[in-house]
Structure 1
Amino acid sequence: MTANAKASPAALDDEAVLLVGHGSRREKSNEQVRTLAADLEGRLGIPVDAGFLELAEPAIADAIAGLASTVSRVTVVQLSLFAASHVKNDVPLAVQRARSDHSELTIHTGSHLGAHPALVDLLDDRAAAVEAELGVDREVDDVGVVLCARGSSDPDANSDAHKLARLLYEGRSFDRVDTSFIGITEPRLEETLHAMAKHRPDAVVVLPYMLGDGVLTGRIRDGAAEFDEAYPYVDAAAGDPLGTDTRLLDVLGDRWQEARTESVNMSCDTCKYKVELDGYEEDVGGARAMLRALTHQESHADRDDVDEDPHMHDAPEKHVAVCTNQTCAADGSPAVLERLRQEARDSDACDVRITRSSCLGRCGDGPMVAVYPDGVWYGGVDRTDAERIVSSHLDRDRIVSDIVDQTL
């Protein structure tokens, strides 16, 4: 199914799309997501709303709630470049909660943008624009390219940046195309530019692999300018980010079709949460993945300047997640969830948020209850244990040792 293809009109009458962006304190970045949502609606011919993971409104849960009253099926399409923790953990967790809140609604979740041919073509055009600015021709001059991405703690996401750089190099007349990152991981931009200078190219094109023209894009431009000044024998300049180019709609259209037909292929073979990768052994497993997602959410929620930013709120002292996936649900986890909430409401000392969770990777040992930030996982929990978890652990920080399944 190509990105320009549409499903039959009858199949679309009761469907909407939620385009999920990261969210930013810079309203210009949020407007970019809304612009792409409007353009995608024109492309697909069905309603497309914008939602945000954090820092902007509406949040994913609120956006889905708004659509639930008008359609019976929502397809979530992710405006994320790579499959790091937001794609693998945070968005699925938010969608799972929405499924619990709207049982009458069918929600499909799409993949990230990834390494798509349309994105390679877009990068090629961005490079050509810089070449024209510098007055060089890759067919005649030695032109090097540095693709600079944000950088992640997820090796799978970082490897996709290298893949894109290789795809950009293949079949084109660049002298070389190297990968760099502006933060978190290596090689950093400055290091990559200095290494490229040793090959004495005529020009170096720096391509910010970013959606918007934000702080990180500005740092990339500054890095290219500093390199241009430091090496007078090499002309260097940075290109524009991806922006709202229509080729993004090609990719988003493909991701929509994959999601709504349940043919999404995630990068599970190299996902640090699914397999053991050297140096990332502690990140393996559904339990750890879910904890990381909750940790990230609370780190953004716990702010001091609540009055200045309405998108922020004080985080509770603890967060409890109850697995309500099929196996745990059959063992009585919904009753455990309700009893925990009741006991917490009745407690004067309890500062906690209690939510549903998707599978925690401990099927057969449930119902499972996870307490964050303590990293304590209770297994085989029943309704009578809920009172002890609240009165001992949540109220007084005393672990209920006889039902502990594991600690992280």
Structure 2
Amino acid sequence: MSSETAPTPSSLSNEAVLLVGHGSRREKSNEQVRTLAADLESRLGIPVDAAFLELASPAIDEAVAGLAGAVSRVSVVHLSLFAASHVKNDVPLAVKRARAEHPDLEIRNGAHLGVHPAILDLLDDRARAAERELGVDRADDEVAVVLCARGSSDPDANADVHKLARLLYEGRVFDDVRATFIGVTEPTLDETLHAVARERPDAVIVLPYMLGDGVLTGRIKDGAAEFDEEYPYVEAAPGEPLGTDPRLLDVLGDRWQEARTGSVEMSCDTCKYKVELDGYEADEGGARAMLRALTHSAAHADRENVDDDPHAHDAPSHHVAVCTNQTCAADGSPAVLERLRQAVRDSDACDARVTRTSCLDQCGDGPMVAVYPDGVWYGGVEEADADRIVSSHLDRERIVSDLVHDTLQ
């Protein structure tokens, strides 16, 4: 963080930071977030609390409530590597709810870690450590690096992995640096390693682009070990994840400064929720993004304890969102919400979660009810219509045609 832009002590009074991590069933991963929060607090000289999207406590709303009585401003900083749905949808939705709950508290939403020079330096050091383990030197030997990230359904996030790999290559003497993924998208780690082997380098360093040493990092290390056995003419070794390296504090400090000064820059030009991208047309639009975020939250709330898959979902078949904003509420949406919930509970065949949501931008046509993943919006819904929506649409997959206001497909 530049000394020219560093805040003065007087400007820091009554301010706090909320560091938001994903959350894990592995307490070691959650402790990493808390450690970084404590280290960042020492760096910045103001309170820094940790919060989690799921699977760990406190949740964002709980953490904000704890800070609300002590400070007047909270800057939310994301401990996320890239800007996918959690950064673009889930955290902003939680922040919006927190603002409504605490109108006197100023809450500013920051950005993810992203592509940053400190992270490039950290990855370079991880590669050097792996080189020493193998007894090779990139100055004398042909060394290839495979940078392996989790993978996302968001092309914007995946593109940043490729950008990071290219920046790691530029200015250094690696013979090759390639981006790859452990899941969700392509190229897969196995495919990339086999392709690199055809170039016959002396060594291949597999860098897990992960924060912690969790399940996915383990899979990446296993993939490197299997490759090493399969190709005896190529030395291969995995690097270590980012961990709690102090250089991450440089990144988090910059993201905090951006949040508190209102200078956060997101990649809106290539965001599938903001613009229509080929192959992702169904994701464009704020309402779609919000409802997908609600569905995602419901899926995580419902899923069972799955030790071998850190992101497996045990989601309901349908997610029903009922607008309870001012106009719809005045037209009776709270009664619709409760009747839908009761009808779902009474049904033997229905597998659905019913939640309230804020404005769906259809004021005057409500109460509005959106059913996902079908993308069907019902308008002018009355309490008496709730049983029909459940018994026909949710139980038997038959849309209630006379109530349809719009479809989002």
Where on the TM-score scale, by shorter chain, does this alignment land: which range?
Answer: 0.7 to 0.9
The letter for the 1-side match of 2:262 is: E
Aligned to 1:320: 321
Q: Does 1:220 align with 2:220?
A: yes
Q: Does 1:341 align with 2:334?
A: yes
Q: Which moved more, 1:393-402 or 1:257-266?
A: 393-402
**CA-to-partner distance for each residue in 1:52-91, whole Å, 9 max, x for gaps?**
0011111111111111121121111000001111111111
The alignment-based identity, stated in percent, is 64
- TM-score norm. by structure 1 comes to 0.87
Aligned to 1:230: 230
Question: Shift of the alpha carbon at 1:368?
Answer: 7.3
CA shift in 2, pair 1:370/1:7, >3 Å: farther
Residues 290-305 of structure 1: matches in 2 within 5 Å? 290-303=290-303
Distance 1:244 1:370 in 2: 44
Q: Which moved more, 1:26-35 or 1:101-110?
A: 101-110
The letter for the 2-side match of 1:71 is: V
Question: Shift of the alpha carbon at 1:198?
Answer: 1.3
Distance 1:354 1:113 in 2: 31
The letter for the 2-side match of 1:205 is: I
Query: Which one has more relative contact order, counting CA pairs under 8 Å at least 6 apart?
Result: 1
Aligned to 2:349: none
Q: Does 1:54 align with 2:54?
A: yes
Distance 1:258 1:139 in 2: 38
CA shift in 2, pair 1:3/1:321, >3 Å: farther
Residues 255-274 of structure 1: matches in 2 within 5 Å? 255-274=255-274
The letter for the 2-side match of 1:369 is: M
Question: Shift of the alpha carbon at 1:367?
Answer: 5.9
Distance 1:73 1:335 in 2: 32
The letter for the 2-side match of 1:61 is: D
The letter for the 1-side match of 2:159 is: S
Distance 1:402 1:334 in 2: 18
Residue from 383, 387, 392 that aligns with 1:387: 383
Distance 2:401 2:365 in 1: 16
Distance 1:184 1:340 in 2: 38
Name the SS for the 1:204 alignment partner. strand
Name the SS for the 1:292 alignment partner. helix
Question: Shift of the alpha carbon at 1:341?
Answer: 2.2
CA shift in 2, pair 1:279/1:10, >3 Å: same
CA shift in 2, pair 1:349/1:128, >3 Å: same
Q: Is the 2:207–2:238 Cα contact (8 Å) retained in structure 1?
A: yes
Q: Does 1:17 align with 2:17?
A: yes
Number of residue-to-residue matches in the alignment:
389
Q: Is the 1:203–1:234 Cα contact (8 Å) retained in structure 2?
A: yes
**CA-to-partner distance for each residue in 1:250-295, whole Å, 9 max, x for gaps?**
1111111111111111111111111121211111111221121112
CA shift in 2, pair 1:73/1:114, >3 Å: same
Q: Is the 2:328–2:363 Cα contact (8 Å) retained in structure 1?
A: no
Distance 1:402 1:54 in 2: 35
Q: Does 1:121 align with 2:121?
A: yes
Question: Shift of the alpha carbon at 1:13?
Answer: 1.3
The letter for the 1-side match of 2:153 is: S
Question: Shift of the alpha carbon at 1:400?
Answer: 7.4
Aligned to 1:205: 205
Distance 1:401 1:11 in 2: 57
Q: Structure 2: any 5+ residue segments left out of the alignment? A: 307-312, 346-352, 394-398
Distance 2:258 2:182 in 1: 31
Q: Structure 1: any 5+ residue segments left out of the alignment? A: 307-311
**CA-to-partner distance for each residue in 1:300-357, whole Å, 9 max, x for gaps?**
1124569xxxxx9997975324275xxxx5xx34535xx3224544775355644333
Question: Shift of the alpha carbon at 1:17?
Answer: 0.9
The letter for the 2-side match of 1:401 is: D
Name the SS for the 1:251 alignment partner. helix
Name the SS for the 1:349 alignment partner. helix
CA shift in 2, pair 1:95/1:367, >3 Å: farther
CA shift in 2, pair 1:24/1:404, >3 Å: same
Aligned to 1:288: 288
Aligned to 2:406: 405
Question: Shift of the alpha carbon at 1:191?
Answer: 1.1
Q: Which moved more, 1:141-150 or 1:5-14?
A: 5-14
Aligned to 1:309: none
CA shift in 2, pair 1:187/1:350, >3 Å: closer
Distance 2:364 2:111 in 1: 30
**CA-to-partner distance for each residue in 1:350-403, whole Å, 9 max, x for gaps?**
556443336x4x477766734233533245x5xxx5535545435775747356
Distance 1:349 1:323 in 2: 18
Q: Does 1:172 align with 2:172?
A: yes
**CA-to-partner distance for each residue in 1:87-115, whole Å, 9 max, x for gaps?**
11111111111111111211111111111
Distance 1:3 1:267 in 2: 27
Q: Does 1:187 align with 2:187?
A: yes
The letter for the 2-side match of 1:120 is: L
Aligned to 1:70: 70
Aligned to 1:372: 371
CA shift in 2, pair 1:315/1:181, >3 Å: closer
Q: Is the 1:316–1:353 Cα contact (8 Å) retained in structure 2?
A: no
Question: Shift of the alpha carbon at 1:226?
Answer: 1.1
Name the SS for the 2:334 alignment partner. helix
Distance 1:273 1:118 in 2: 29
Distance 1:367 1:72 in 2: 36
Distance 1:395 1:349 in 2: 8
